[in-house]
Structure 1
Amino acid sequence: MKDDRLAAAVGNASLLGIGYVLLCRWRLAIAAPLISVALMLLVVAQKALWCEIALVVWWVAVVVHGWLLGGKPGTRSATEQRLIALCVTVPVLLVGVFFRVEAVGIQRDVADARAAGDCMGVTAAQQKARYGDRLADAPGIERLGVDVEACKQLQEIALRLEGTWSGDVDLLGEQFAKLGEVLAKPGQEKTVEKVLDQYLGTVTKGGPCPTVALATWLRGRHQTQNVLDKANSAGDGLLPDAQFECAQSEAKAAKWRAALGRYQELIGQYPHAAITPKARAAMALVAVKVELLDVRGLVTSGEYCDKPAKYSGAPLYRRGVNRALFLGETDEYLDQLPRQWKTAVPTNASVIICTETVEDGPAIRTCPYTREDDPGLHFNRTFRKVVVPVKVYALRTGKLVRTGKVTITGEACPLFYTDDSGLTPVYGSTISTPVEPSDANVRAAFQPLLVRR
């Protein structure tokens, strides 16, 4: 009997050195499986194609070597040798094929999950890989780790994107840059798109004003000609309503200037948006509030007469009595006006009357006087009307509607005149003295300004 070449070749095809055992080549029978195990471990460790090629070359080599060593005298029949070789090699090859097919199936499942943007599916499929799968297709299984790592990155990005709901555009920019890095990896378009879609559906969670900041960033981000550009159109779609709601909330909080700016920005950027008509109507109301703030500020600072401004909510300057807010350099005689002609509140005033320093008016009469404490001291007093220069502004428009001088007459040459100036008159001199107007005199002088016929 001779050693069967076919049995030796088939036995060695198991990579366990069975062919050498059948040939009674004991050193080779021990060395061959050790080398096979070493190459298998190298395949698993390196996960490189060259390692798999090396293992295949070794497999071909031992098969051919077993064939070449056969044909010499032996102790077993060819049938017995072939049966032993088949009993060992066939199960080994079947196991190898099974794990190779399973590895391919796992890769297919991962690819399907990745194509659907399902990171949980990617991870679940990759976790099915066993040691045998890694041995049967180490590079293929290793590539799955790239997908799993990408999904881990996307999960972290998704979590950090939730931190942008407060309006943190810096953080938003950082996370979009990381999305771009993941997108650059092969086959990650759908997984990145899913994370992006989930985020775009939650942008409004932080409230309207933070949404405005986020939507503005999304709308204006530099387009990269990939799936991330969906963010630009999403931001553009979110911005009008968010801007309106933000303006509404600021108006509700009496932040009139901020609200006005929001409305103006919305109308300027989206003149044809569905929400724009509502924004225009709301802006008109808020603009009146801002005008009132401006008027109050000018009145408080004493600058209104130099910088007149309108308040559209003021009563019209019309026929009948028009209440006035008096400002300027003098408030003399104003206490003698009727209460219904005056106001200290801009919202009740039809006009703002700016007064200047009182001037001497025309002389009425000159009368002689003596000092009570010095009867020998004679002097004269010329009593003159009081002239108050005025400018009248219609508060509703902020326009100058009248300018001129109010001339107030009054009592001249009273029998007794008390001089509070503290000055000692010169004998025979004439002192210019303002009249002492009555309430009726003051009312008659100002009536043409406040009561229109």
Structure 2
Amino acid sequence: MRDDRIATAVGNASLLGVGYLLLRRWRLAMTAQLITVALVLILMAEKALWCEIALVVWWVAVIAHGWALGGKPGTRRVAEQRLIALCVTVPVLVAGGFFRYEATGIQREVAEARAAGDCAGVTAAEQKARYGDRIADAAGIERLGVDLEACAQLREIAARLRTTWAGDTEVLADEFEKLTAVLTKPGQDKTVEKVLDEYLGTVTKGGPCPTVKLATWLRNRTQTHTVLDKANPVGDRLVPDAQFACAQSEAKAGQWRAASYRYQELIGQYPSAAITPKARAALAVVALKVQLLDLRNLIAAGQYCDNPAAYGGAPKYRRGVNRALFLGETNDYIAQLPRQWQTTVPTNASVVICTEAVEDGPAIETCPYTREGQSYTFYRTFRKVVVPVKIYALRTGRLVRDGKVTINGEACPMIYTDTSGLLPPIGGTISTPVEPSDANVRAAFQPLLVLSSKSR
């Protein structure tokens, strides 16, 4: 009986040194097994293609070496040797082929899930890989780790993106940089796109004002010629409605200036947007609120007469009775005007009349008087009352009249009560304002407040 070359080669093909065992080469068998184990361990550690090539080279080498050692006198029949070799090697090769096939299928599933942007599918497919798969195709299974790592990063990015709903554009910028980094990994376009699509569908969850911030950032981001560029048109589409809704909420909260700014920005940036006509109408309303706010601030600060402002919601200064808001120097004569001619509510006034200190007007008559208990005579010259006025049409803030109102009244009463406490000079003359009646004051101011068709 001789050792069969075929049996020896087939036995060594198991990578377990069976061929050497058939030749009773115990040391060679042990050495072959140790080398095989070492190569498998290196393959599992490195998971590199060169490790697989080294294992194949070793497999070919032991087969060739077994063939070369065969053909010498032996102790077993050829059929027995071949049966032993086949019983060991065939299961090993079948198992290797099966696990290699299974590993290929897993990689295919991962690739399909990745192409669909399904990170959950990627993870589920990778988890099917068994120990045998990781030996049979270590490099291929190792490449799946790149997909797993990318999906793990994308899950973190998606969670962080959800924190931007309050309008945090700094975090948004950071996460887009991370998405760009994930895109540099092979085949991650769809997985990144899915995360992006999910986020773009939830941008409005934080409310209109945060949405304006986020959508504006998306619209203005620098394009990178990647799938991330689809964020720009989405942001551009979201801005008009979000800007309008935000302005509406600010107006409802009484933040008139902020709302006005948003309406103006919307109209300037999107003049043709479907929502823009509504924004123009809303701006007209809010603009009046801002004007009224400015008006009240000026009145409260006593600065209106120096810096007159328009309030477009005021009644027109026109024919008929016009109500006036009196500002400036106070005097007792204003109180003598009819109530329907004056108001303290800015929204009810057609005009603002700024009055200055009362002046002496033209002399009417000079009369002699004696003070009770005194024996000498002095004179009083009674003069009309002059009130300098500037009249502003409140609707436009325009000065419509700058002049003086002259008020007539009673002169030289039979008895004049002097409450000044001053002793007039003997034979001297004192200028004294007339005592106007309500009718006198009304007649003086009527041309300013009750307009006929020829008054203006």
Q: The TM-score by the shorter chain falls in which range?
A: over 0.9
For residues 422-441 of structure 1, the aligned pairs below 5 Å read 422-441=421-440
119-128 vs 275-284, which deviates more? Answer: 275-284
CA distance in 1: counterparts of 2:170 and 2:334, whole angstroms: 59
Percent of paired sites with the same residue: 76
CA distance in 1: counterparts of 2:253 and 2:184, whole angstroms: 46
244-253 vs 345-354, which deviates more? Answer: 244-253
Q: Is the 8 A contact 1:351 1:394 kept in 2?
A: yes
Deviation at 1:376, TM superposition (A): 2.6
Q: Is residue 12 of structure 1 aligned with residue 5 of structure 2?
A: no
CA distance in 2: counterparts of 1:132 and 1:427, whole angstroms: 133
CA distance in 2: counterparts of 1:419 and 1:158, whole angstroms: 89
For residues 57-68 of structure 1, the aligned pairs below 5 Å read 57-68=57-68
**Which residue number corresponds to residue 180 of structure 1?**
180
1:354-388 residue CA offsets vs partner (Å, 9 max, x unmatched):
11121110001111122224x13432111110111
Q: Quick one: which amino acid aligns to residue 304 of structure 1? A: Y
Q: Quick one: which amino acid aligns to residue 213 of structure 1? A: K
Q: Is the 8 A contact 1:330 1:358 kept in 2?
A: no
Q: TM-score, normalised by structure 1?
A: 0.98
**Which residue number corresponds to residue 403 of structure 1?**
402
CA distance in 2: counterparts of 1:423 and 1:53, whole angstroms: 125
- Indicate how the Cα distance of structure 1 residues 420 and 173 shifts in structure 2: closer, same or farther if over 3 A, else same: farther
Q: Quick one: which amino acid aligns to residue 285 of structure 1? A: V
**Which residue number corresponds to residue 321 of structure 2?**
321
**Which residue number corresponds to residue 217 of structure 1?**
217
Deviation at 1:259, TM superposition (A): 1.1
Q: Quick one: which amino acid aligns to residue 46 of structure 2? A: Q
Structure 1 unaligned runs (5+)? none
Q: Is residue 126 of structure 1 aligned with residue 131 of structure 2?
A: no
Q: Is the 8 A contact 2:323 2:449 kept in 1?
A: yes
**Which residue number corresponds to residue 363 of structure 2?**
363
**Which residue number corresponds to residue 297 of structure 2?**
297
Q: Is residue 392 of structure 1 aligned with residue 391 of structure 2?
A: yes
**Which residue number corresponds to residue 113 of structure 1?**
113
Deviation at 1:331, TM superposition (A): 3.0
CA distance in 2: counterparts of 1:138 and 1:417, whole angstroms: 121
CA distance in 2: counterparts of 1:45 and 1:246, whole angstroms: 57
**Which residue number corresponds to residue 241 of structure 1?**
241
CA distance in 2: counterparts of 1:323 and 1:307, whole angstroms: 21
Deviation at 1:109, TM superposition (A): 0.7
Deviation at 1:389, TM superposition (A): 1.0
For residues 235-384 of structure 1, the aligned pairs below 5 Å read 235-373=235-373, 375-384=374-383
**Which residue number corresponds to residue 445 of structure 2?**
446
Q: Quick one: which amino acid aligns to residue 343 of structure 1? A: T
Question: What SS does the aligned partner of 1:397 have?
Answer: coil
Q: Is the 8 A contact 2:117 2:192 kept in 1?
A: yes
1:126-154 residue CA offsets vs partner (Å, 9 max, x unmatched):
00011101101111111101101110111
CA distance in 2: counterparts of 1:227 and 1:331, whole angstroms: 75
Report how many aligned residue pairs link the two structures.
452
Q: Is the 8 A contact 2:7 2:19 kept in 1?
A: yes
Q: Quick one: which amino acid aligns to residue 143 of structure 1? A: R
CA RMSD of aligned residues (A): 1.2
Question: What SS does the aligned partner of 1:376 have?
Answer: coil
Q: Quick one: which amino acid aligns to residue 26 of structure 1? A: W
Q: Is the 8 A contact 2:388 2:403 kept in 1?
A: yes
**Which residue number corresponds to residue 155 of structure 1?**
155
CA distance in 2: counterparts of 1:33 and 1:321, whole angstroms: 116
Deviation at 1:417, TM superposition (A): 2.3
**Which residue number corresponds to residue 42 of structure 1?**
42
CA distance in 1: counterparts of 2:419 and 2:447, whole angstroms: 32
Structure 2 unaligned runs (5+)? none
